[in-house]
């Protein structure tokens, strides 16, 4: 089996100890990342420079020997490729020229996406060429609802109220935007697979702002359509990460097109071991702040999660991305804890 333990779990296997990688494993908490990042002022330009993106993708693999590399890019490269204005203001996070009404959808076009995102695919090819064959290479994209949130609000938001109001008052036109994003994400992930991604993850980071009654239409179904189309064409495993949806995660469990569900920190490992893991492989769900805290708190919590989930189909990961204040030594210690874990010990 190529691409190691992670791919084996995504294809139905089990490993003791489980494979481990960390969301946002490349980033500002690593001095080596900051050094490369400092050579380009624009974050998007940095993402679109294949040799830099390749270098920072490989840094956490070299330093921590993780089981998977996730290509260094961002979910907002898709709105950028569709023709929406996207920029990253220093210390403020992402900014977009917000979509105000459906008349503006006409400005968005998939025609130039493959050309615009060619540097991402070049970085994937270069990364695969230097990555050992027992390490998986992950591609990713934002799920349509989360992308729509940023595209309509024009950046981050506490509650994405404008986006939700649009979805509830004008579901037909919101549906057109979601359809366009389904197509764009299928294109983008398809090209990533052709460039060497072994599996892909869909980040629905803001699914949790929706009530349960709206989740199926705007989160579950669009992600399912993407997974279906990718699997028809490429037979590639898809990991779905519907963040902060609580027990409504049971809706995603039924979708056989998802090879794994990524579990946020708010869901109990014990509950998911009973309700989800018999049906689907799981990934998660250590609190990223445990990784900042380190010491005995980190050790106890990592072991608790391993004891609950490590015996089934499982990929050790965080419940959300690594934060910049994480000491790199705590990441090294976490990998040691996971690799040293034995069931029942
Ligand atoms: O995981 C990895 O190592 C791969 C790279 C990756 C980045 N962003 C790099 C990045 C991935 C997988 C993402 C996904 C992403 N981007 C998500 C989904 C996951 C999540 O966290 O919920 C979202 C919502 C975004 C949008 C985004 N990009 C935000 C909100 C921000 C600002 C917040 C922050 O951490 O600064 C970004 C910028 C960004 N994307 C940085 C990195 C390393 C930091 C910018 C920099 O280094 O200058």
pLDDT digit string, tens, across residues 300-345: 999 999 999 999 999 999 999 999 999 999 999 999 999 999 998 6
| Ligand 1 atom nearest to CA at 37 | 47
How many whole angstroms separate alpha carbon 139 and alpha carbon 79? 17
pTM to 2 decimal places: 0.97
Nearest alpha carbon to residue 245 among 214, 274, 275: 214
Active site annotation includes 253:
no
Taking the centre of ligand 1 as the mean of its atom positions, its distance from the CA of residue 24, in whole angstroms, is 7
- Look at ligand 1, atom 21, and give the residue with the nearest C-alpha: 321
| Amino acid 91: pLDDT | 84
Chain centroid to CA 285:
13
Structure confidence at residue 340 (pLDDT): 98
Span from the CA of 340 to the centroid of ligand 1 (angstroms): 30
- d(CA 153, CA 86) in angstroms, rounded, equals 12
Cα 73 to Cα 48, 126, 193: the distances in Å are 8, 14, 15
Q: What are the sequence ranges of the domains in the chain?
A: 4-340
pLDDT score, position 344: 81
Residue 140, CB half-sphere, CA atoms under 13 Å: how many?
A: 26
Q: In whole angstroms, what is the distance from residue 162 CA to residue 176 CA? A: 17
Q: What is the pLDDT of residue 171?
A: 97
Active site residue 11: no
Q: Specify the pLDDT at position 308.
A: 98
Residues with Cβ within 6 A of ligand 1? 23-28, 37, 43, 70, 72-76, 88, 93-94, 140, 156, 203, 205, 321
pLDDT, residue 345, reads 66
* CATH classification code of 4-340: 3.20.20.210
- Distance, in Å, from the CA atom of 36 to the CA atom of 30, rounded to the nearest integer, reads 10
Give the C-alpha separation, 46 to 53, whole Å. Answer: 7
Q: Which atom of ligand 1 is nearest to the CA of 201?
A: 12
In sequence order, what are the beta bridge partners of 281?
Answer: 260
Q: What is the pLDDT of residue 154?
A: 98
Q: Which residues of the chain fall short of a pLDDT of 50?
A: 1
Identify which of 56, 61, 75, 207 to mutate to test ligand 1's pocket (most ligand atoms within 8 A of the CB): 75
For ligand 1, atom 23, which residue shows the shortest CA distance? 75
Please, are residues 303 and 248 in contact by the beta-carbon 8 Å criterion?
A: no
Neighbour-count burial of 293, counting CB atoms closer than 10 A to its CB (0-12 exposed, 13-18 middle, 19+ buried):
middle
CA distances from 219 to 68, 142, 149 (A): 26, 11, 12
Mean of pLDDT over the chain: 97
């Amino acid at each position: 089996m190529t691409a190691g333990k992670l791919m084996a779990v995504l294809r139905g296997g089990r490993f003791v100890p489980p494979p481990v990688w960390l969301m946002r494993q490349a980033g500002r908490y690593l001095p080596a990342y900051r050094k490369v990042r400092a050579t380009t002022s624009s974050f998007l330009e940095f993402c679109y420079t294949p040799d830099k993106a390749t270098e920072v993708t490989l840094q956490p693999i070299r330093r921590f020997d993780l089981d998977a590399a996730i290509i260094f890019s961002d979910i907002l490269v898709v709105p950028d490729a569709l023709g929406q204005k996207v920029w990253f203001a220093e210390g403020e996070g992402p900014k977009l020229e917000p979509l105000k009404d459906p008349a503006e959808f006409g400005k968005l076009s998939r025609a130039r996406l493959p050309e615009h995102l060619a540097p991402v695919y070049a970085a994937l090819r270069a990364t695969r060429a230097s990555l050992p064959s027992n390490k998986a290479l992950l591609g990713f994209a934002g799920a349509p609802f989360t992308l729509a949130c940023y595209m309509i609000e024009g950046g981050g938001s506490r509650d994405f109220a404008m986006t939700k109001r649009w979805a509830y008052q004008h579901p037909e036109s919101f549906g057109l935007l979601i359809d366009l994003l389904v197509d764009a994400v299928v294109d983008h992930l398809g090209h990533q697979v052709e460039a060497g991604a072994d599996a892909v993850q869909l980040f629905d980071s803001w699914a949790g702002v929706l009530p349960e009654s709206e989740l199926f239409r705007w989160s579950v179904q669009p992600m399912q359509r993407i997974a279906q189309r990718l699997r028809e064409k490429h037979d590639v495993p898809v990991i779905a990460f519907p963040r902060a949806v609580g027990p409504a995660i049971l809706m995603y469990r039924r979708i056989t097109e998802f090879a794994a569900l990524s579990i946020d920190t708010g869901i109990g490992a014990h509950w998911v071991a009973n309700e989800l893991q018999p049906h689907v492989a799981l990934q998660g769900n250590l609190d990223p702040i445990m990784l900042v805290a380190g010491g005995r708190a980190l050790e106890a919590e990592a072991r608790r999660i391993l004891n609950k989930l490590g015996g089934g189909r499982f990929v050790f990961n965080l419940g959300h991305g690594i934060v910049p204040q994480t000491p790199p030594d705590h990441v090294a210690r976490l990998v040691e804890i996971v690799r040293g874990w034995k069931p029942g010990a």
